[in-house]
Structure 1
Amino acid sequence: MHAFSFSNLGWNFLSSTKQTTEELTATPLSLYTVSQTPALRAAVNIDPSPAKGGGDISIVGGVALQSEIGPSGTTADVETAKRGSDQISIYVVREGDSLSQIANMFGVSTNTLVWANDLGRGNVIRPGETLVILPVSGIRHTVVKGETLASIAKKYKGDIDEVLVFNNLSADAKLAVGDVVTVPYGVVPQTAKPVSTASVARGSGGPSLDGYFLRPVLSGHKTQGIHGYNAVDIGAPTGTNVMASASGEVILSRSYGYNGGYGQYIVIKHSNGTQTLYAHLSENFVSTGTQVVQGQVIGAVGSTGRSTGPHLHFEIRGARNPF
């Protein structure tokens, strides 16, 4: 799978090409552009209380944002949220929240929230609903004459279904010259003189924690090396046990939905500040809030989400992936 740091809220510029193409970093907070023309700057909300509904918000375990005092409160203390981080966050919707307000809190796009949370028609959210704030990498491409969604997806090794969902387009959508299309987890084609960092996965430059992480699938074989967001793919038969790579708290366990291509997946937060993600599962054996120990079976290998066959997509966020 694309599978799937935060350092700047602005836009970074790379180089110039014939057409305008922008590469997002592994988080929606920043874009890399290969155009010399300044791109639109991400909206930054200077209001310390950007969401107007609900009560005070606190960080639970450094990650999950939850209302403390209910709908009668007014303060939204989101300054401690991990803006500028590669970590996955969880936000609980409060009365009066809107997708655009939540997106502004975290410096992400509304489309990112819709895409990562399988929101239905109308993008309706309800108080108490849990939203995943998922760092996303990809390509923003400006359409030129003769291009189609299929050709753009192919150019950047993306998945056309993901392109449709992320950009809120129908299967028969017609593109016009100048339209901007985002290809989630797309890859910029290498030129005759490839950039030295082009093959480096996003988030792969963290500290090396040798011996801290356990291989999550003991059997099977690696089908793809470091890619996407500091991930490896381990092929194994459906139903093969998936173990917690290190002890920690399950901050997310999604047993349904496409989830931006992850399918069924689990995220564990570890005491050293790192996170591990286990995707394409056929079964989730642990629920959100569960404390797990290293080696504990947490799920089973599957092929849910964007997957061409049974395997585990395994990410480490905040440290090098030794596998």
Structure 2
Amino acid sequence: MAKAYDVDVETLIGANSIEDPARLSVGTRLWIPGAARVQDVPSSSSSARNGKRNKRYAPGRPFKGFLEWPLAGTVTSPFGYRNDKYHDGVDIGAREGTSILAAADGKVMFSGWGPTGYGMIVIVKHANHLTTLYAHNSKNLVKKNARVRQGQKIAEVGQTGRATGPHLHFEVRNDTHPRDPLLYLP
């Protein structure tokens, strides 16, 4: 998988909150941060040849107000389709160096340079199968496996990766499925 998407294995493990990679099975859906499209990835597994798959994901309901805003600012690009591309999060405009706060209590699954155009990212796993991603940071202030509290400063706004100016790209995922962050924010 990592090779097909040109992403390092640690990024995949962190982005998907995988605690034991050996327990992954054919058909498990993984989130590939920054992937523009789904690619066919060959498998030599007999279960893949037999067409066996894990059960399909049934998305849960959003928890309005479960998350807090990671910073004060204006949403400059909403979730969903924009032009002919799908935007998996919201962009929040802010000055370079503005504090980015953890949207909820959780555990840092990844902190570092992300794949494709995300630049510096922090990924935090929360309760209720939620994961948040904070991208284009100028500086990450937390390390992998750190526990963070809601409202704790975890990064600073930047324009690393493919960015047109300083802003926070903020994603919410329910398991590995992108969700509109506005459904979870007050």
TM-score category of the 2 structures, normalised to the smaller one:
0.5 to 0.7
Aligned with residue 214 of structure 1, among 47, 68, 71? 68
- Any idea what SS the aligned residue of 1:253 has? strand
**Residues 180-199 of structure 1: CA distance to partner in whole angstroms, max 9, x if unpaired?**
xxxxxxxxxxxxxxxxxxxx
User: Structure 1's 233 and 82: CA in aligned 2 closer, same or farther, altered over 3 A?
Assistant: farther
**2:28 equivalent to 1:83:** yes
**Residues 151-209 of structure 1: CA distance to partner in whole angstroms, max 9, x if unpaired?**
xxxxxxxxxxxxxxxxxxxxxxxxxxxxxxxxxxxxxxxxxxxxxxxxxxxxxx75221
The structure whose residues are more often strand, as a share, is: 2
| TM-score, structure 1 normalization | 0.40
Q: Distance in 2 between matches of 1:82 and 1:294?
A: 34
Aligned partner of 2:9 in structure 1 is none
Runs of 5+ unmatched residues, structure 1: 1-27, 29-58, 68-75, 89-132, 141-204
| TM-score, structure 2 normalization | 0.67
Aligned length: 144
CA radius of gyration, larger in: 1
Aligned with residue 302 of structure 1, among 148, 151, 158? 158
Q: Distance in 2 between matches of 1:135 and 1:238?
A: 22
1:216-295 matched pairs, under 5 angstroms: 216-218=70-72, 220-227=73-80, 228-254=86-112, 256=113, 259-295=115-151
Please report how far the alpha carbon of residue 77 of structure 1 lies from its aligned counterpart in structure 2 after TM superposition.
3.6
The percent of aligned pairs where both chains have the same amino acid is 37
Contact in 2 for aligned 1:209/1:320 (Cα 8 Å): no
Structure with more relative contact order (C-alpha pairs < 8 Å, separation 6 or more): 2
The residue identity in structure 2 corresponding to 1:226 is F
User: Structure 1's 264 and 135: CA in aligned 2 closer, same or farther, altered over 3 A?
Assistant: closer
1:1-323 matched pairs, under 5 angstroms: 63-65=17-19, 76-79=22-25, 83-85=28-30, 88=31, 133-134=32-33, 136-138=35-37, 207-218=61-72, 220-227=73-80, 228-254=86-112, 256=113, 259-318=115-174, 319-322=179-182
Aligned partner of 2:56 in structure 1 is none
The residue identity in structure 2 corresponding to 1:83 is T
Aligned partner of 1:116 in structure 2 is none
Runs of 5+ unmatched residues, structure 2: 5-12, 40-58, 81-85
